[in-house]
Amino acid sequence: MKVKPEDISLGRLHHHMLSAIAPRPIAFASTVDKDGNRNLSPFSYFNVFSTRPPIAIFSPAKSGRTNTQKDTYHNAKETMEVVINVVNHDIVQQMSLSSTAYGPEVDEFAKSGLTPIDSEMVKPARVKESPVSLECKVREVVELGDEGGSGNLIICEIVLIHISDDVLDEEGNIDTKKIDLVGRMGGDWYVHANGDALFEVPKPIRQKGIGVDQLPEKIRTSKILTGNDLGMLGNVERMPSGEEISDYSDAFDVAGDWEGKQKLAHDLLCEAKIEQAWKVLLS
């Protein structure tokens, strides 16, 4: 299927984009208006874009039904301050409830049952139950269009970060499993970033992998090894030496046909045993 955005309805385009570009982190944005009235609303058009200066950007889009701006947009422009609270599994249902289109006079903290706690450097309150809250000054608001569905980039400089001690590991870093985040998918779907959903892929930063193009042809053209398998094999700085392969063959019984070796290597790669997989394939 090929889709030209101008040829389909806003709703269908919205569904395609949000279903394909996912999972997305959620900016649970706390703002106040010029009179100090609180607003709390989630936005999944959100990410971090710079470390120094620390910049996060989220986008409260105009309503596709009424072509009106969100209260968060108005508040951010009026006060140039916002607190971005991250969303974990413990508060996902309350977060969803707060996304109801209440009037600007309604306090979503009260509606959702979440606890406002004073910030230190900005006026909007933090969400006490959130594991991480980012106090931000708004640098700029970039309006992307006039039609319903058009976004407004709220460019935020993070001035203070609050991290719950409960999500830290022994070294003072955020533990991915403890923070228990959720992400936004398309439609009513979310993803729970924990359990079997989590897996590690070593970053090729400190080493320069040989690349898939340098794999022996019979490995590169294998019908059994997957693209992920080839990526792992290509993320080594060198292939095992003849001596290493010989020592491995002497210690482990890897005799068998080529198909069997590929299947064994695939199983080893599923367990991230890359060195052993290489030795099996080259034995």
Reading the chain (283 residues) residue by residue, the pLDDT tens digits are: 999 999 999 999 999 999 999 999 999 999 999 999 999 999 999 999 999 999 999 999 988 788 889 999 999 999 999 999 999 999 999 999 999 988 889 999 999 999 999 999 999 999 999 999 999 999 999 999 998 889 999 999 999 999 999 999 999 999 999 999 999 999 999 999 999 999 888 777 677 889 999 999 999 999 999 999 999 999 999 999 989 888 888 777 766 789 999 999 999 999 989 999 999 999 8
Give how many domains the chain has, as a whole number: 2
117 and 167 assigned to the same domain = yes
18 and 152 assigned to the same domain = yes
Domain membership flag for residue 83: yes
258 and 162 assigned to the same domain = no
Rounded to whole angstroms, the Cα distance separating 135 from 113 reads 21
Closest CA to 13 of 5, 21, 25, 24: 5
26 and 149 assigned to the same domain = yes
pTM: 0.88
Q: How many CB atoms lie within 10 A of CB 282?
A: 19
Rounded to whole angstroms, the Cα distance separating 267 from 115 reads 48
Read off the pLDDT of residues 49-102 as tens digits, 9 standing for 90 and up.
999 999 999 999 988 788 889 999 999 999 999 999 999 999 999 999 999 988
Residue ranges making up the domain that contains 221: 212-282
Domain membership flag for residue 249: yes
Read off the pLDDT of residues 147-169 as tens digits, 9 standing for 90 and up.
888 999 999 999 999 999 999 99
Cβ partners under 8 Å of residue 15, min gap 6: 186, 187
Closest CA to 26 of 3, 6, 44, 50: 44
The DSSP code sequence of 113-157 is TPPEE--SSSSSPEETT-SEEEEEEEEEEEE--SSTT--EEEEEE
57 and 107 assigned to the same domain = yes
Domain membership flag for residue 261: yes
